[in-house]
Amino acid sequence: MSQDEPIYNIGVVARMTDIPAATLRVWERRYGFPDTSRTEGGHRLYSDSDIQRLLWVKAKTDEGMQVRQAVRALRALEEENAFPEPMTGEGVLVAGPSRLARAESDVADTYIARLQSRLYDALVRHDTALADDIFSEALALYPPESVMLQMIRPTLWEIGEGWEREEVSIGTEHLATGYLRQRLLAWLTSGPPLFAVAPTVLACAPGEYHEGSLMMLGALLRRRRWPVAYLGQSIPLPDLAEFAHRTNPLAIVTVAMSAESAAALAAWPQHFPEAAQTGRPIFAYGGLIFNENPEWRVKVRGLFLGATLGEGVETLERTLRRISPPLA
């Protein structure tokens, strides 16, 4: 996604930059800064580049410079192609890896944490209409990356923990996970224009039915314009090999949460002899068992994506770019 693509509304930008929406409107009216795009309804849309420029001007005004002077200084730098490096800070979501790192930060945004709590309560009460409203509010304020990592992921975890403690019924667990799964499926199948490259295939290891993290990885990858083919739960290796033979993917990504599913996954070279010998397609994997018992990283051949979802996305994208530089 280009840094100049207008995608953020004024509420999101106000939160990301700590500049009140009223101030943003005044700056645009008085100084023509920034020169924002508009939706068909006339609402402002900002790009990542706009956000970086706003942060630079805000930093200068915090140091005592007048807004008009700061805007002039910025434009002078831009004319000389001397605009400084991107700025980051608390609440700032810049493009690419920095955005994902912020979205996955251990220091959760307090407001999105409250939205997550409300979402959990709505789902355990079976109130999907209220859950829809909560999602609408969240997506008006936060990018999908933050909604996935700070709302969907912890809600899936809490629902699963509640079921294991017998505090959440099987029916409630199925309704809640099915609802969240549909949200992730929507992001898996829609988004920015795709790169003109072969897809990445995503499949749970044989016997593995926990697919939440794999779906989020696929959705985050799709948000970065990489085509994905999501196969879902417990895919037998012969079937996965046949699918890969037909689609010729750049990479195959699998997930295993238990020792049993990891042991089944370890047999993949028997079904992908060419990939085992040449490294093409890339065979990558991750999951809870590889974090809790790192010896499984030795037992299973291939590319271990990392201990966190964010690390997995970054590792996979670096690998994909190396083997097939994308064309829009």
Q: Are residue 258 and residue 229 in the same domain, yes or no?
A: yes
Domain of 41, in residue numbers: 10-94
pLDDT at residue 36, rounded to an integer: 85
In a domain, 27, yes or no: yes
The alpha carbon of residue 113 and the mean position of all alpha carbons in its chain are separated, in whole angstroms, by 17
If asked whether residues 167 and 230 sit together in one domain, one would say no
Q: Is residue 210 part of a domain?
A: yes
3-state secondary structure of 267: coil
177, part of any domain: yes
Say how far apart CA 35 and CA 38 lie, in whole Å. Answer: 10
Cα 51 from Cα 203, distance rounded (Å) = 37
- Write down how long the chain is: 328
Radius of gyration of the CA atoms of the chain, in A: 22
pLDDT confidence of residue 90: 36
Q: Over the stretch 228-276, which tens digit does the pLDDT of each residue have?
A: 999 999 999 999 999 999 999 999 999 999 999 999 999 999 999 999 9
Let me know whether 21 and 65 are in one domain.
Answer: yes
CATH at residue 88: 1.10.1660.10
Reported as a pLDDT band with limits 50, 70 and 90, residue 93 is very low
pLDDT tier at 193 (50, 70, 90 boundaries)? confident
**pTM for this predicted structure:** 0.68
At 105 the pLDDT is 52
* 117 pLDDT above the threshold of 60: yes
pLDDT tens for 144-164 read 888 999 999 999 999 988 898
Give the mean pLDDT of 210-225: 94
Q: Which of 87-101, 178-192, 282-296 has the lowest mean pLDDT?
A: 87-101
205 and 176 together in one domain: no
Q: Are residues 156 and 63 in the same domain?
A: no
Res 315 pLDDT > 60: yes
Q: What is the distance between the alpha carbons of residues 40 and 81, in angstroms, rounded to a whole number?
A: 32
Same domain, 70 and 115: no
pLDDT for 289 beyond 60: yes
Residues 87 and 123 both lie in one domain:
no
User: Residue 196, Cβ neighbours under 10 Å: how many?
Assistant: 11
228 neighbors 200 (Cβ within 8 angstroms): yes
For 285, the 3-state DSSP assignment is strand
Q: How many domains does the chain have?
A: 3
137 belongs to a structural domain: yes
Residues of the chain with pLDDT > 90: what percent?
56
End position of a domain, from candidates 188, 212, 238: 188
Q: Which of the listed residues 123, 154, 188 is the one where a domain comes to its end?
A: 188
* Closest C-alpha among 174, 219, 15, 33 to residue 24: 33
What lies within 8 Å, CB to CB, of 159 at 6+ separation is 120, 123, 124, 168, 172, 173, 176, 177
